Amino acid sequence: MSSMWQGCLADTNYFEMRSSEGREYGVWVTTPPGYNPETTTAPAVYVLDGNWAVGMTAPLIVTQMDPMQQVQPYIQVSVGYAGEEAQHWARLRNRDLVPPGEPIAKEFVDAVESALHAGAMTRQQVDAYLAELSDTHGDTFLAFLTSELHPRIERDYGTATSGHGLFGYSYGGLFSLYAWLTRNSLFETIGAGSPGVASGDSEVFTLLEELGDEPRTAKLHVTINDQELVGNLAIYQTSSSNTTRLLHDLSSRSDSVTSAVLRETHVTGLQASFLSYLRTCRALK
């Protein structure tokens, strides 16, 4: 990383990795202050939407040094897209973060079309954006994180053998729910910020029924924003309503599920949601 960016994202290295599916990813790895794997090890926390999220979440690694509310040491691994694909991260995430078979909600299509009418997107961009949602592969991306990327992080950064976490926001939050509901064994703590549960027939409800009454030991922390609940944008109202419905069912089945309502909008809630996850799931006992 250049000296300029090193000053902004201290203790952060960057590399690019091609998955077994031939997809290119950019990976930012931020280590704790003074981290030395020869004397101590720390678990990894995987943060999705790295192209957008790394600048707002990686600096929070200093919470490990906060004397008033210290969190457990962790290595942050922010995962995004590399090269020419980096500029298309907003639509490529649809392919990677949405569970396979997820229905496309009318409210979501309306929101994208409104961006076209407002001049924020071209027709070509809208069509490409929606096309990614017609063939989603959250399962493939989850396999990449756990079976391909994590072994490399484990080898290169000397991570701990347990205690790993996952955090995602919006569609990344939907992916986090998917990882928790499919009983992924790598992550012991999972943060789902403002999950994009846009459809009442979302796959997460199907997975919840399949989960049955089997207890889950992995901690799940879900946040939503008050402006999503009371605002006038249908897509956010619907997603937050569906998330609330899911939370009600989850909380009645598992005591490892926590939640919080934040005083943010969907756009401004990312950093606050990540901090809520750290404080709730990774607080130093």
User: pLDDT, tens digit, for every residue of 96-105?
Assistant: 999 999 999 8
Give the model's pLDDT for residue 161: 95
Nearest to 20 by CA among 152, 182, 184: 152
C-beta separation of 16 from 3 below 8 A = no
- Find the length of the chain: 285
Kindly tell me if the per-residue pLDDT of 1 is higher than 70: no
Rg of the chain in Å (alpha carbons): 18
Spatial distance between the Cα atoms of 39 and 175, rounded to a whole number of angstroms: 34
Q: How confident is the model at residue 126 (pLDDT cuts 50, 70, 90)?
A: confident
Q: What pLDDT is recorded for position 247?
A: 94
d(CA 156, CA 248): 41
Domains and CATH numbers, the chain: 3-101+137-281 (3.40.50.1820)
Spatial separation of the C-alpha atoms in residues 204 and 210, rounded to whole Å: 10
Summary mean pLDDT of the chain: 92
Rounded (10°) angle between helices 106-117 and 234-251? 150
pLDDT band at residue 7 under the 50/70/90 scheme:
low
Query: Is residue 60 pLDDT above 90, yes or no?
Result: yes
User: Average pLDDT, stretch 205-228?
Assistant: 90
Please name the residue that has the structure tokens 């290595």: 75
pTM over 0.75: yes
Asked whether the beta carbons of 17 and 27 are under 8 A apart, the reply is yes
